[in-house]
Amino acid sequence: MTISEALGRIRADIAEAARQAGRDAQAVRLVAVSKTFPQEDVREAIAAGQRVFGENRVQEAMQKFPALRAEFADLELHLIGPLQSNKAREAVALFDVIHTVDRDKIAGALAAEMRAQGRTPQLLVQVNTGEEPQKAGIAPREAVDFVARCRTEHGLAIAGLMCIPPVGDIPALHFALLDELCRRAGVAERSMGMSQDYETAVRHGATLVRVGSAIFGHRDYPA
Ligand SMILES: *Cc1c(COP(=O)(O)O)cnc(C)c1O
């Protein structure tokens, strides 16, 4: 299957899952996760009409995207990987949406950079819904307070929440938890669902699905 065919199939799946859930398919945005894949593959996706891309490393995105952005003014770039505060400057300069705010240090660093650069990327808080020690994200029980603290202490508007369910768990349980936390925090965007489970995520209210290998093919390393 070509990248273009894969995108067509995934868009159709999203529309069907939305229809089944009584949702508007327009409310779901497909983030094409291009990490580890070369610029030519991104170009192929652009030629197929895709404009929203996700990368999980600031450095890799800085190599791949500035040239494409200069050519395609309507590209939208999302940071979906963990952010270190010493990369906040580059992240604010390059990304339109950052999915991985998960602690006060990062919130403070982003707030300072947003003031300095006059740029306001949309921000989501990553929630470690499986409470896995090795995984980034704020604990579920702290998520609602953290969103409030981003507003009151850091002056940051948080648009939504993001999660990555543990491998081997039933993803629907994590999507339902994220949906509930979004309600309680009063935020609209739900970033959830990847190649294996994006249809389930759409049925549980995802507004952003992050799909990589189902579009671009198998990755040799998880990066
Ligand atoms: C790599 C990655 C994805 C995409 O994963 P696939 O299984 O290839 O669709 C989604 N979200 C995050 C945070 C990722 O790092």
- The answer to whether residues 31 and 53 touch, using CB atoms and an 8 Å cutoff, is yes
- Of the residues 127, 194, 209, 220, which should be mutated to test ligand 1's pocket, given the most ligand atoms within 8 Å of the CB? 194
Q: How many angstroms does the Cα of residue 194 sit away from the middle of ligand 1?
A: 6
Protein residue whose Cα sits closest to atom 13 of ligand 1: 80
Rounded to two decimals, the pTM is 0.97
User: Is the CB of 99 within 6 Å of ligand 1?
Assistant: no
Protein residue whose Cα sits closest to atom 10 of ligand 1: 210
Q: Residue 222: what pLDDT?
A: 57
Protein residue whose Cα sits closest to atom 5 of ligand 1: 212
Q: Residue 220: what pLDDT?
A: 76
Nearest atom in ligand 1 to the alpha carbon of residue 219 is 8
Q: Residue 221: what pLDDT?
A: 66
Nearest atom in ligand 1 to the alpha carbon of residue 216 is 8
Query: In the 3-class helix/strand/coil scheme, how is 57-117 assigned residue by residue?
Result: CHHHHHHHHHHHHHHCCCCEEEECCCCCHHHHHHHHHHCCEEEEECCHHHHHHHHHHHHHH
User: Is the CB of 33 within 6 Å of ligand 1?
Assistant: yes
Blockwise average pLDDT, block size 10, the chain, 223 residues: 97 98 97 97 98 97 95 97 96 98 98 98 98 97 98 98 97 98 98 98 98 94 59
